[in-house]
Every structure is written in structure tokens, then in C-alpha cells.
Amino acid sequence: MAIDRYLDVMALGLNDQQHGETTKLSSADVHMLASYCFDLTRKQHYLYMALRLSGSGEPHFEYVLGRETIVIQDEATLAQAIYKDTQFVEDAAERLRQEMGTKWDSKSDWEVRARALQDVIIRQWRAIVGDHRGLFETLGQPIPEYVPAPGAGESRSPSSES
């Protein structure tokens, strides 16, 4: 398969910029920044999958979405996963708006988006990790040992933040 078959699908994952027409710097908070970072990671994961699917061999990614598992093996199934991930984030934000009613604010919206995007990138990594390890084995290279970042084991609860 050639990469040109996947360019349109990759564009789907890259084209959904969050609130791209408004300024952010004056109202930036931690959840907004996390949302942007998680969204970039999500898009990089889509690119990884598209590049692997367009190459040789028969890679596939078992992608768990709630109770459903999608086997991403071509551009159609990748497009389906991108759509469902995008809808998952939007649905989470819409549920929050409905629950909060007039008490809704953009800060709450960013928090729910950050949490939903975090769920998406964790699901993506779980789908990618087997393929990633297989690439190291194909190259005859040892899989790099995971070393947690300093402080990664410490509590990140709101009460421990200063």
C-alpha cells in the first residue's frame, strides 16, 4: 500500500483544531494546556498508525472503544477510529454542558476535554505498543527499558498541589 491512500484519512485526524478562532493566552489554564498537548499526541498516534498501515507487511491495531474493539487495518477502519475518538471528546463536553446548565464555564469545558483526550491517547498507546515492540524485534534491537520520570510515582491529587 502506498502512503497516498492514507493522506485523506490522516487529514481527518489533523483537521479538528480545538476552538482555533479565539485567543487563548489571556485565559490559559492547566487543563487547556493539557488538552492541546494531549490533542497533539493523539494526532501523532494517528500519523504513526497511518504510516505503518501504508507500509509493507500487514500491521493492525486492536483498538478498544468502550465495549467495542475496532481492528484498525486499513484507511476505512482508521477513519472510523478517528471519528469515534473525536465524537467521544465532543460528547463528553456536551454532557458536561447539559449537566452544568447555566453554571457551565469554559474552564470546566477544558477540564472534561483534557480528561477525555487523556483516555483517547491511553487507548491509542495500548493499540500501538504491540506494533512498536514488534518493530524493535524486527530490527534486532532490545526494547528500551522504561524509566519513569522523577516524581511520577508521587501523588498528583489536587490537595498535594501548591
Per domain, the residue ranges of the chain are 3-14+30-143
Q: How far is it, in rounded angstroms, from Cα 96 to Cα 108? A: 8
Output the tens digit of pLDDT for each of the chain's 162 residues. Answer: 466 666 666 666 555 555 566 665 666 788 888 999 999 999 999 999 999 998 877 888 999 988 899 999 999 999 999 999 999 999 999 999 899 888 888 778 889 999 999 999 999 999 998 888 888 888 888 888 878 778 776 555 444 444
Q: How many whole angstroms separate alpha carbon 120 and alpha carbon 41?
A: 10
Cβ atoms 106, 31 nearer than 8 A: no
Total-model pTM:
0.74
pLDDT at 10: 62
Q: Would the CA dihedral through 12, 68, 38, 125 be positive or negative?
A: negative
